[in-house]
Amino acid sequence: MKLVFAGTPEVAVPALDALIASGRHEVAAVITRPDAPAGRGRRLVASPVAERAEEAGIEVLKPARPRDPDFQARLREIAPDCCPVVAYGALLPKSALDIPKHGWVNLHFSLLPAWRGAAPVQQSIIAGDQVTGASTFRIEEGLDTGPVYGILTEEIRPTDTSGDLLTRLAFAGSGLLAATMDGIEDGTLRAVEQPHDGISHAPKITVEDARIDWTAPAMRADRLVRGCTPAPGAWTVFRGERLKLISLGLVPDRTDLEPGALAPAKNNVYAGTGSHAVELLWVQPQGKKPMRAADWARGVRIAPGERLGGADVG
């Protein structure tokens, strides 16, 4: 088939590579989000997908909006059979969805209909799921509601961050997307409507969502930290400034600390929660680089009775 691939961030690059390498289909063009400011200089930078496509000599389309008439006219000129999608980042209007013969097929990082939405990997970790996966489905106008072509499953490991899990799913899912294109092309694959039960939603996690509630159980804090790493980053407040929490350890045999209470030791820093203590392993103070929590504690000289949480005035 002639394909036009749509994707933007680094997590979409393995799927693009898999389609280029398959040899069975032609990636005629790539659609990605417009260049965006990045770094201290805020200079415009092309997306990772755009950079990979340019390296491969593939035409890159960067519409401000997919309903743009010039963009849709060019897509009609290319006349793709199918448009595979991974984390493109913009809603597709029906006028664009109707252009390719076999529609637009999305690789979504959950077992649909679970975790429809923008942050399925983060939300699955925060919810405490033990298994997740990826699905390929035909895009409709609804949010991740289209019929499913194929799935794969992936175990969520006890120490997985969303970054760890997303990387594994990106590489495993690239094979699923390539196989889906093969099945559509040879007519052996049919999309099946999603069930009406088991639906859950995965909205984008805001900075406020990522704030630690020390009165909640320790497991909740651990899942929130892992689910929000690397972005948007779980955080709390210490001495009126934000303190980002990069990794925690569970300490179930220590139950003497009240929620948010700090207990520094020579090479460890413990904090109380609504159940048992956690050990702060890596933190990032406001305006500084990530560091070991024990080094941070020695630097700030935690006084008896000081706590995490409270008003955010930083």
pLDDT at 311: 64
Tokens 């997740």 belong to residue? 132
The reply to whether 37 sits in an annotated binding site is: no
The reply to whether 112 sits in an annotated binding site is: yes
Does this model's pTM top 0.85? My answer is yes
Residue 121's φ and ψ, nearest 5 degrees, are -70, -45
Classify strands 131-138 and 148-155 as parallel, antiparallel or unpaired.
Answer: antiparallel
The reply to whether 243 sits in an annotated binding site is: no
| Range list of H helices, the chain | 13-22, 48-55, 69-78, 94-97, 120-126, 162-186, 218-227, 293-300
The reply to whether 110 sits in an annotated binding site is: yes
pLDDT at 86: 98
pLDDT at 120: 98
Residue 99's φ and ψ, nearest 5 degrees, are -70, -55
pLDDT at 314: 47
DSSP at 233: -
CA dist 132 and 108 (Å) reads: 11
3-26 residue pLDDT tens: 999 999 999 999 999 999 998 999
Residues of the chain with pLDDT under 70: 311-314
